[in-house]
Amino acid sequence: MQLFGIDLWRILLCAVLIFLVVRRANLVAIFGKIKFSNGDNDGALKIFNIANKIGNLNTANLMLYGYILLRSGKPDEAEVQFRRLLPMTRRESPERHKLQNMLALTFWKQGHLDEAIEELEEAVNADYRTTQIYQNLGILYNLSDDHEKALKFNLEGYEYNDDDNIIMDNLADAYAINGDFEKSAEIYEKLIARDPEPRFPEAYYGYGRVLIKLGQREKGIEMIEKSLTKSFSYMSIKTRDEVEKMLEEYKGQ
């Protein structure tokens, strides 16, 4: 019995060691996830770089690694990771559509807006609808030249989820792009009343520009100034420098 007990513990110990060896990259990635959830992109990226070198990251962690690379301003490296995942996902599967969402953001940040839109339109045409799809494709349509399509899609997104701040901002922006500043201001007022999170400057400078169009110059400038108190990131639609330049131009008028 004692010998059997010793042999059993050896077997269990070997099994644990094998598990740790096989899963070691994903175990390291846990610490990267913690860093990322706490807003420490740089710390998360360092840990995921280590985990990636170890190898054998699962698909969920590879996708997160790619997203952290993208948020860190490394779209080319992010694309490499996302393309590694393509053979690991089935066509028309939710995982493939999530990957298309990430690739679309990558193409956008690489300056390929048309490719980004095509990537997400493929998911939408496959009848894949999520809040994230409406957020991202809504942004991309607003940046495109097809203003009518932008408004139509963002109205659809608002009907899908009118509680989401990004979807609300997209719709308000789409109304402004189409020249309906009154309707845009109405949506922005509801959004600003929610006091959007500190990482959401778009709502404030967007509302500011609309107010200026409506003749409320002082209040509009105040809103643009408030946007500059918010946190900008690589994924922001406009950079802090662009908004500062916008503010200077309005003040100079």
Q: Which domains does the chain have, with CATH numbers?
A: 20-128 (1.25.40.10), 146-253 (1.25.40.10)
Distance CA 98, CA 107 (A): 14
- At residue 26, the pLDDT reads 80
Alpha helices in 72-180 (DSSP H): 75-85, 94-109, 113-125, 131-143, 147-160, 165-177
Q: What percent of the chain has pLDDT over 70?
A: 91
- At residue 23, the pLDDT reads 52
- At residue 24, the pLDDT reads 66
Cβ pair 104, 121 in contact under 8 A: no
CB atoms within 10 A of CB 83: 13
- At residue 253, the pLDDT reads 76
Q: How much is the CA Rg of the chain, to the nearest whole Å?
A: 23
Cβ pair 68, 81 in contact under 8 A: no
